[in-house]
């Protein structure tokens, strides 16, 4: 018996993709590109060393210090630019860990059958019961405080969401003709998962990556604010926000700058994820 060719779940005609480009995806992409550009520029150049005190504290914005200095004497512009590196690093590590753990587990739970899969997902519920903050505290106590430690905690905490998405999508396609054809051709479980299941759920995984990246950015800022994220003197938007909150009444501008940076990045990923949802699955276009 010949096995049916795997068909992409999404549109086949390139012209269909072009027509489905939407404002949300374009706006999110442009906003994210600016953050990435700032991070790349900061690798090669910043006005001052973001890890060292360079001037008197709480200087107003000027030609020498475009965004002023914080209450410790760090150049705010340099910290914001280099903080973009930290933000993207945490997001990349967190979503990579979450996807590498959650997606294979979710696919496996979806392929073993609904009853067995439900029992296997109970372990997923156990992991989900641990909030990322608690995981960060545990990881910090065991591994020490670092950017990577915070990212690992966030990634493990986000893996149940990927597992649920992967399992739900896998269950929807297990009865398709090409899956039945692969089984009739005596293809192995790993072959079916890699060649047939994963390509057909990749759109949902990409959307989940974008959404969880935004969550990781916000969570890293919160952990750094609480002293559980990126340690000093490494630049961090969350820690800058914490340090600036002590002088919010006299220097409110210092709180505004990292707050805008965090909100901008989170909004960029949310817009990108929402746009990708419509782009990758036109059936959802226009739905909220």
**Digit-coded pLDDT (tens) for 116-151:** 777 888 888 888 887 777 888 888 888 888 999 999
Q: Is the dihedral of CA 110, 113, 114, 120 positive or negative?
A: negative
Number of helices and strands (H, E) in the chain?
11, 0
Examine the pLDDT at 6 and tell me if it is beyond 60: no
* 9: three-class secondary structure by DSSP: coil
pLDDT band at 7 (very low <50, low <70, confident <90, very high): very low
Examine the pLDDT at 59 and tell me if it is beyond 60: yes
Maximum separation of any 2 CA atoms in the chain, in Å: 78
Mean pLDDT, residues 73-78 taken together = 95
Examine the pLDDT at 280 and tell me if it is beyond 90: no
Q: Give the predicted TM-score (pTM) of the model.
A: 0.86
d(CA 177, CA 170): 14
d(CA 232, CA 51): 8
Which is nearest to 151 in space by CA: 103, 53, 217?
217
**pLDDT for res 17:** 53
Q: List the beta bridge partners of residue 75.
A: 69
Which domains are seen in the chain, by residue range?
39-44+53-284 (1.10.3720.10)
Contact 96, 56 (CB under 8 A): no
């Amino acid at each position: 018996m010949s096995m049916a060719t795997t068909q992409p779940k999404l549109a086949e005609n390139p012209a269909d993709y072009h027509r489905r480009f939407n404002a949300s995806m374009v706006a999110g992409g442009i906003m994210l590109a600016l953050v990435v550009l700032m991070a790349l520029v900061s690798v090669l150049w910043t006005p001052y060393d973001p890890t060292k005190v360079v001037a008197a504290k709480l200087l107003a914005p000027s030609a020498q210090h475009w965004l002023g200095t914080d209450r410790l004497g760090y150049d705010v512009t340099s910290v914001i630019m280099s903080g973009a590196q930290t933000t993207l690093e945490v997001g990349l590590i967190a979503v990579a860990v979450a996807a590498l753990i959650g997606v294979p587990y979710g696919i496996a739970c979806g392929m073993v059958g609904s009853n067995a899969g439900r029992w296997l997902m109970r372990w997923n519920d156990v992991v989900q019961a641990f909030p990322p903050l608690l995981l960060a505290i545990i990881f910090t106590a065991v591994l020490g405080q670092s950017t990577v430690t915070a990212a690992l905690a966030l990634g493990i905490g986000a893996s149940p969401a990927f597992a649920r998405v992967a399992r739900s999508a896998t269950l929807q396609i297990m009865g398709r003709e090409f899956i039945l054809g692969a089984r009739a051709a005596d293809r192995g479980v790993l072959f079916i998962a890699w060649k047939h299941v994963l390509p057909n759920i990749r759109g949902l995984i990409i959307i989940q990556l974008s959404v969880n990246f935004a969550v990781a950015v916000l969570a890293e800022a919160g952990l750094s604010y609480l002293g559980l994220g990126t340690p000093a003197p490494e630049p961090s938007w969350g820690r800058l926000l914490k340090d600036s909150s002590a002088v919010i009444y006299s220097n409110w501008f210092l709180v505004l700058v990292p707050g805008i940076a965090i909100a901008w990045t989170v909004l960029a990923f949310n817009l990108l994820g929402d746009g990708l949802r419509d782009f990758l699955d036109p059936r959802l276009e226009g739905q909220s």
